[in-house]
Structure 1
Amino acid sequence: METPDRLLRSFLRIAETQSLSRAADRLGQTQSGVSKQLAALEAYLGKPLFVRTGRGVALTEAGSKLRDAIEAPYRAIDLAAQSIRDTHGTTQGTLRIAFVHTVNYYFLAEAVAGFIGNYPAINLSLMGRSSADVVALVESGKADLGVAYDTAVDTAALEMHPLFEDDMCLVTSRQPDPALAAAGIDLRGQILRLVGFPRGYALRRMVESAGLEHPYVAEAETVDAILKLVAMGVGDSILPSRLPDRLLNEYGLNRLKIEKPLLRRRIVAVKRSGRQALPLVDTLFGSLLQAAGALAP
């Protein structure tokens, strides 16, 4: 059984397009279905609402009276519904965020915890990748948001928003000299064996671009794997200073401040530009910015 709302909306679409076929196209229905809806509405009102013309249909006096009575209220209803959607967005579905592995240990959980609490029906898909992969995933639409190093973002297709800066430290299984720990280490005067991310990762490129020629004796794509190798004495690693003490303590590792050269990179949030995102994408984006603002400098 056709509802009055459906009949009236079909009527408004016919009045707007002045054609049963065009109205059917816009409504996603068949022309015969729209014709039956019009017939049912005319039978209920007891008056014809349209007359046929050479190019389509035109409103009768009764049709004009009905259109004038219901057009504004329906427009107000649609605007209100759109406003609610724009403000609150969908509360179900999946949002995908791609991120560099390191931020999973000291930033990402805090950034998404409040969001998940407010939107429990949202499935948040988290994808740890290299910075280059994060950029590619967001640019292709396979991720809604990304968290990466700014050096990897070189495309007009993405908006980039600074989050915070990361200074690097040396993570080692050796017990550092207290004086060295206080002053910091000059990596240019050391001979080290390094464990780190593969070539192409932003942290690896940063070390190489700083002119450090320490050999990499092992590579891994996750922080946990790198820390395990360092704990086994394979070598030392250059990682963000923000890695929590509890994580390093779990592996029995120590950190040393790097005095020279300066190894610092900016972490940014990225999303596609030139497209209207789902409202909850912007809400999640705001959660990232808020969490970044709460980090100690």
Structure 2
Amino acid sequence: METPDRLLRSFLRIASLKSLSKAADDLNQTQSGVSKQLAALEAHLGKALFTRTGRGVALTEAGQKLQEAIEGPYRAIDHAVDMIRDAHGSTEGTVRLALVHTVSYYFIGDVVASFVSAHPGVNLSMMGRSSPEVVALVESGKADLGVAYDTAVDTASLAVYPLFDDTMCLVEQGTMAPAADDAGVDLAGRNLRLVTFPHGYALRRMLDSAGLKGSYVAEAETVDAMLKLVSAGVGSCILPSRLPDKLLAEYGLCKVKIRTPLLKRRMVAVAHPERQPLPLAAALLSCALQVARALDT
């Protein structure tokens, strides 16, 4: 059975966004579920609260009166809850982090260790996605914080926090570590056979725009799958040079420094500024920024 509070909060989101589908995304619910909640509230009140328009819904007179009556009190309730959280801290709950696959091998581990040690009662839910998917999850409110490549953040609706720059390297069969004075290879003159991420991934778009010669011989959505394919002799791959040497050694692979073209991307954290962030999400962002500052020191 739906509680009055849930029905009224769903009503307020529909009224604010003027769309059932957008309200459903914002509430992380199905559109049919939100429609049922609205129908239950209208049945209880005996009045229609919205009328259909070409682009969504509009408030009826009864809907306007209801919004005016409850919007202020609900805002006051949410403000009071936020003040209590800020004053006394939050030690329990779930924080949802969306991230690109690559950083799980050399950055997120330290971030999570720092965050969990300070908040042992928190459940941290991590979702590995492509950069555009990370951005979409944060925009829709389905993730509290995202870590992605800045080239995928083409929206002004998100707050962006620079973390660090990622320089790419060529990964191929072999166990030789590059010398400190190694100038790197010129990929422009090589006929490459590349294992890469599918279309839509930021690193794939980087390769598409770099003008490299050769062909894509295989696609994989995870770093481990790519490394297995390279280890099997399918081809080479281009990945961040921050990947641990120990990881590559497990697959009999090594890094080759790239001199030209310059393949570099900036990693950023993204959050939704229009949604009041949970203190725990802010704490996670603080940990990410702190770990990022220490990377090159």
TM-score, normalised to structure 1, is 0.70
CA distance 1:94–1:265, change in 2 (3 Å): same
Q: C-alpha distance in 2, partners of 1:196/1:127?
A: 20
The amino acid across from 1:269 in the alignment is: A
User: Partner of 1:163: helix, strand, or coil?
Assistant: strand
**Amino acid of the structure 2 residue aligned with 1:104:** S
Q: Which runs of 5+ in 2 are unaligned?
A: 1-78
1:152-197 C-alpha deviation (Å, 9 max, x unpaired): 0011221011000000000001467978982201000001100010
Look up the match of 1:273: 273
Q: Does structure 1 residue 142 correspond to structure 2 residue 153?
A: no
The yes-or-no answer on 1:101 pairing with 2:101 is yes
Letter in 1 for 2:255: R
Larger radius of gyration: 1
Distance 1:124 1:179, change over 3 A: closer
Aligned twin of 2:242 = 242
Give matches, 1:67-146, under 5 Å.
83-146=83-146
Query: What's the CA shift for 1:143?
Result: 0.4
Q: Report the counterpart of residue 163 of structure 1 in structure 2.
A: 163
Inter-partner Cα distance in structure 1 for 2:295 and 2:180: 27
1:183 aligns with 2:183: yes
Q: Tell whether the 8 Å contact from 1:176 to 1:256 is kept in structure 2 after alignment.
A: no
1: distance between equivalents of 2:276 and 2:100?
25
Output the TM-score relative to the length of structure 2. 0.70
Percent of aligned pairs sharing the same letter? 63
Q: 1:174 to 1:191 in 2, by over 3 A?
A: farther
CA distance in 1, matches of 2:275, 2:97: 17
Distance change >3 Å, CA 231–CA 283, structure 1 → 2: same
Distance 2:181 2:233 in 1: 19
Deviation at 1:213? 3.3
**CA distance in 2 between partners of 1:281 and 1:245 (Å):** 31
1:92–1:211 distance in 2 versus 1, CA, 3 Å: same
Equivalent residues of 1:181, 1:256 under 8 A apart = no
Amino acid at match of 2:182: A
Shift, 1:92, TM fit: 1.3
State the distance in 1 between where 2:116 and 2:194 align. 38
Structure 1: gaps of 5 or more residues:
1-78
Q: Which residue of 2 aligns with 1:44?
A: none
CA distance in 1, matches of 2:176, 2:260: 17
In the alignment, the residues of structure 1 paired with residue 221 and residue 292 of structure 2 have an alpha-carbon distance, to the nearest angstrom, of 24
* Paired AA for residue 208 in structure 2: E
The separation in 1 between residues aligned to 2:143 and 2:214, in whole angstroms, is 35
Taking only aligned residues, the RMSD between alpha carbons, in angstroms, comes to: 2.2
Alignment partners' CA distance in 2, 1:181 and 1:193: 26
